[in-house]
Amino acid sequence: KRVPKGDVLESARVAALFGVKKTHELIPDCHPLPVEHAEVGFTVGEQEIIVTMKVRTIYRTGVEVEAMHGASVAALTIYDMLKP
């Protein structure tokens, strides 16, 4: 869980939340949304780490892209910290 760069899952959690908040800056035609709640989950297996995201808003549109973006950023952070 801890490597020279720091705590892998905590770093990934923070990165995921940043990813959710910055989605509109990186994905074309994605508008800024008032995110009411964002939650990151990790399931650590023998050969894999499963990243799950829950994102909620009271806004009229969905937050699927924000959730997928947050999960992707978390996965990239995990890879970056654990790569050989």
Round to whole Å and give the CA distance between 62 and 7: 31
Q: Which of 7, 10, 36, 80 is catalytic?
A: 80
Is residue 7 annotated as a catalytic residue, yes or no? no
E strands, 1-84, are: 2-3, 6-7, 35-44, 49-57
Q: Are 13 and 81 in contact (CB under 8 A)?
A: no
Residue whose tokens read 């994905």: 27
What amino acid positions are annotated as catalytic residues? 80
